[in-house]
């Protein structure tokens, strides 16, 4: 994607200050957006970037500073003001109504009506097809948008912004739920928007995407703009240092050597076409990376190991004994734990507090009396404190609700819950999904510390840099089968990464 970034300045935020009780969220922040550019906005959770976006969207009012559009000071006091200036905001949840058609979602809240006040779907379909410079959607405009692939839902929301004559489109973590092919499709759509003069403000935690798609990048750290630089002049190490105050080589912690003890042996494990004849050994203290494209069988393998799905054939061997897991409870009793990809839906009870979530899988341990199901607050507090400390959970106290924690600390609570079960094998499925790079570093350190204590870790991730940086050894899956086993060379991570990239692209070349 050609870098431009030299177009006319459309939007400027000058000296923006925003205070909340006891905290300065933005401290004299400057930010500008130019015509026909992709401007990446990055920073750790809590750095202030979300506050800046909410001010531009009209959800917050700045305490100091000016917002300038086309050289004139503007007042944005609500979402209507923002929309009138040509600003659109696309969040991760996309704000769609699944049972309504594509056309109805494009004109959501602004349905064209006849002289009699009637809404006609046929009229909306015609109008949707005539949106100037619209993104092509490979679907019937009358189809329910919830039935379409995620990429077409994204295109629907982008076309909604174009139908509103938006000039600047803010995209928040757009690739989180997309496959590699869909990411390419989204980036092609963004390239089309640039060519038509639209500006994109791109918020992402994925460094490789920023270097691939952005023209400029602004880093927000500790409520301040620490720099806005052209991407083509930027080295990855410099960007990490701007965000974290540490060098790129220090992002991943050092790894202890695994033991020679085999704690898990998998032989010819299969389930339909999703997992096919997978075999490997896992040693104590080892971090085994599982790489592969979306749909390669990574999560399906994790579910088989955890007893969530039933295998068709093959053996899972622990301590020389063949295991027959018929449920996750069987796996948990054998010392296996799974931290799922969707921590909110599957890993946590968000309204409950930290210590309640940590002890959720081991309620028998915190009974007041062994035979009577009454819980001991003292035992719950002691165990919660023990494992929150072991994983470095940052919370005001153990009674703090989990939904008020940052994504990184929520993930540590999930880790604590499973360590509380005395798990010896920890399966992590996309453990850093939706977590900023600063929180990732803290989580990486926690995982490395657990491995150093002898816990065996299976790390499943779409981020190949993460797999290479953390794992001792990597298995690459393609269509449910192991297609490569790659040892990690700590002295040459670049070479290991290149081997992984080539192995993961086998499927793409076939397609």
How confident is the model over 295-347, as pLDDT tens digits? 789 999 999 999 999 999 999 999 889 999 999 999 999 999 998 887 777 77
Is residue 1 predicted with pLDDT exceeding 50? no
Q: Which residues have CB under 8 Å from 245's CB, separation 6+?
A: 221
User: What is the full DSSP assignment across 256-297?
Assistant: PPPPS-EEEEEEEEEETTTEEEEEEEEETT-EEEEE--TTSS
Q: Are 472 and 459 in contact (CB under 8 A)?
A: no
pLDDT of residue 345: 74
Express each pLDDT in 145-167 by its tens digit.
999 999 999 999 999 999 999 99
Is residue 354 predicted with pLDDT exceeding 70? yes
Is residue 136 predicted with pLDDT exceeding 70? yes
Instruction: Look up residue 232 and give its DSSP letter.
Output: G
Q: Average pLDDT in the 271-280 region?
A: 95
pLDDT of residue 509: 39
Q: Average pLDDT in the 5-16 region?
A: 88
pLDDT of residue 412: 87
DSSP-derived 3-state class of residue 156? helix
In angstroms, the Cα distances linking 51 to 61, 82, 95, 180, 433 are 10, 15, 19, 30, 21
Would you place residue 360 in the very low, low, confident or very high pLDDT band (cuts 50, 70, 90)?
confident
Q: Average pLDDT in the 273-281 region?
A: 95
Dihedral through CA 192, CA 197, CA 201, CA 206, nearest 10? 30
| Token pair listed for 95 | 């704000």
Q: What sign does the CA torsion over 295, 187, 499, 254 have? A: negative
Q: Are 440 and 280 in contact (CB under 8 A)?
A: no
Q: Average pLDDT in the 354-376 region?
A: 79
Q: How many CB atoms lie within 10 A of CB 396?
A: 9
pLDDT of residue 373: 72
Instruction: Look up residue 233 and give its DSSP letter.
Output: G
In angstroms, the Cα distances linking 117 to 123, 171, 329, 342 are 13, 34, 58, 43
pLDDT of residue 93: 77
pLDDT of residue 19: 93
pLDDT of residue 32: 97
Is residue 370 predicted with pLDDT exceeding 70? no
Is residue 190 predicted with pLDDT exceeding 90? yes
Q: pTM of the predicted model, to two decimals? A: 0.68
Q: Are 158 and 89 in contact (CB under 8 A)?
A: no
Lowest mean pLDDT among 60-69, 268-277, 433-442, 481-490: 433-442
Q: Are 44 and 221 in contact (CB under 8 A)?
A: yes
Cα angle at 346 between 341 and 349, to 5 degrees? 130
Tell which wins on pLDDT, 156 or 205. Answer: 156
| Dist CA 140 CA 129 (whole Å) | 11
| Token pair listed for 365 | 């341990």
Mean confidence (pLDDT) of the chain? 87
| Dist CA 213 CA 41 (whole Å) | 12
pLDDT of residue 148: 93
| Token pair listed for 169 | 């489109």
- Among residues 435, 488, 495, 33, the alpha carbon closest in space to that of 228 is found at 33
Q: Average pLDDT in the 478-490 region?
A: 87
| Dist CA 436 CA 326 (whole Å) | 36
Q: Which residues have CB under 8 Å from 263's CB, separation 6+?
A: 282, 283, 284, 318, 319, 424, 425, 456
Tell which wins on pLDDT, 459 or 379. Answer: 459
Is residue 195 predicted with pLDDT exceeding 60? yes
pLDDT of residue 488: 86
| Token pair listed for 343 | 């921590």
| Dist CA 292 CA 301 (whole Å) | 12
pLDDT of residue 511: 42
- For the chain, what is the radius of gyration of the CA atoms? 25
Lowest mean pLDDT among 59-68, 338-347, 457-466: 338-347
In angstroms, the Cα distances linking 169 to 103, 165, 402, 508 are 20, 10, 32, 30
Is residue 510 predicted with pLDDT exceeding 50? no
Length of the chain: 511
Is residue 466 predicted with pLDDT exceeding 80? yes
User: What is the full DSSP assignment across 303-355?
Assistant: HHHTTSS--SEEEEEETTEEE--SSHHHHHHTTEEEE-S-IIIII--TTSBHH
Is residue 233 predicted with pLDDT exceeding 60? yes
| Token pair listed for 49 | 């970037």
239, containing H or E segment: helix 236-244
Q: Are 354 and 388 in contact (CB under 8 A)?
A: yes
Would you place residue 495 in the very low, low, confident or very high pLDDT band (cuts 50, 70, 90)?
confident
Give the CA diameter of the chain.
79
| Dist CA 465 CA 209 (whole Å) | 13
Instruction: Look up residue 12 and give its DSSP letter.
Output: E
Instruction: Provide the percentage of residues in the chain whose pLDDT is more than 70.
Output: 94
| Token pair listed for 452 | 């150093």
- Among residues 9, 28, 14, the alpha carbon closest in space to that of 73 is found at 14
Instruction: Write down all domains in the chain, each with its CATH number in brackets.
Output: 9-246 (3.40.50.300), 251-335+424-511 (3.40.50.300), 350-423 (no CATH)
In angstroms, the Cα distances linking 264 to 403, 455, 457 are 34, 12, 11
| Dist CA 159 CA 155 (whole Å) | 6
Is residue 427 predicted with pLDDT exceeding 80? yes
| Dist CA 152 CA 94 (whole Å) | 11
pLDDT of residue 105: 92
């Amino acid at each position: 994607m050609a870098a431009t970034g030299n177009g006319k300045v459309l939007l400027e935020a000058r000296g923006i200050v925003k205070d909340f009780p006891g905290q300065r969220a933005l401290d004299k922040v400057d930010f500008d957006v130019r015509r026909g550019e992709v401007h990446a906005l990055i920073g750790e959770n809590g750095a202030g970037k979300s506050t800046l976006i909410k001010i531009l969207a009209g959800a917050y009012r700045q305490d100091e500073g000016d917002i300038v559009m086309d050289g004139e000071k503007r007042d944005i006091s609500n979402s209507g003001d923002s929309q009138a200036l040509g600003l659109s905001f696309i969040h991760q949840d996309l704000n769609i109504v699944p049972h309504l058609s594509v056309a109805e979602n494009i004109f959501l809240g602004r349905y064209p009506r006849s002289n009699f006040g009637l809404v006609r779907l046929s009229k909306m379909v015609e109008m949707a097809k005539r949106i100037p410079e619209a993104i092509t959607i490979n679907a019937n405009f009358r189809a329910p948008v919830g039935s379409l692939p995620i990429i077409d839902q994204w295109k629907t929301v982008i076309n909604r912004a174009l139908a509103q004559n938006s000039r600047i489109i803010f995209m928040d973590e757009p690739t989180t739920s997309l496959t590699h092919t869909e990411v390419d499709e989204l980036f092609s759509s963004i390239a089309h928007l640039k060519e038509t003069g639209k500006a994109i403000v791109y918020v992402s935690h994925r460094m490789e995407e920023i270097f691939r798609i952005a023209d400029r990048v602004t880093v927000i750290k500790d409520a301040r703009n620490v720099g806005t630089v052209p991407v083509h002049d930027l080295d990855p190490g410099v960007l990490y240092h701007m965000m974290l105050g540490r060098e790129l080589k220090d992002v991943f912690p050092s790894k202890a050597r695994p033991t020679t003890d085999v704690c898990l042996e998998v032989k010819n494990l299969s389930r339909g076409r999703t997992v096919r004849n997978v075999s490997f050994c896992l040693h104590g203290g080892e971090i085994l990376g599982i790489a592969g494209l979306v749909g390669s069988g990574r999560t399906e393998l994790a579910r088989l190991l955890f007893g969530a799905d039933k295998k068709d054939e093959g053996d899972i061997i622990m301590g020389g004994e063949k295991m027959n897991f018929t449920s996750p409870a069987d796996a948990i009793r054998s010392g296996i734990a799974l931290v799922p990809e969707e921590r909110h839906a599957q890993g946590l009870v968000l309204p409950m507090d930290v210590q309640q979530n940590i002890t959720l899988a081991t309620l028998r341990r915190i009974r007041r009396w062994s035979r009577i199901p009454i819980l001991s607050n003292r035992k719950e507090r002691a165990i919660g404190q023990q494992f929150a400390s072991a994983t470095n959970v940052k919370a005001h106290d153990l009674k703090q609700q989990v939904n008020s924690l940052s994504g990184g600390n929520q993930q540590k609570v999930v880790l604590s819950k499973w360590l509380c079960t005395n798990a010896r094998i920890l399966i992590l499925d996309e453990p850093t999904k939706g977590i900023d790079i600063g929180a990732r570093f803290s989580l990486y350190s926690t995982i490395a510390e657990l491995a150093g204590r002898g816990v065996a870790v299976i790390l499943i991730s779409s981020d190949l840099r993460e797999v290479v940086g953390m794992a001792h050894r990597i298995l690459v899956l393609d269509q449910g089968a192991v297609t490569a086993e790659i040892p990690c060379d700590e002295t040459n991570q670049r070479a290991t990464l290149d081997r992984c990239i080539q192995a993961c692209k086998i499927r793409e070349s076939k397609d």
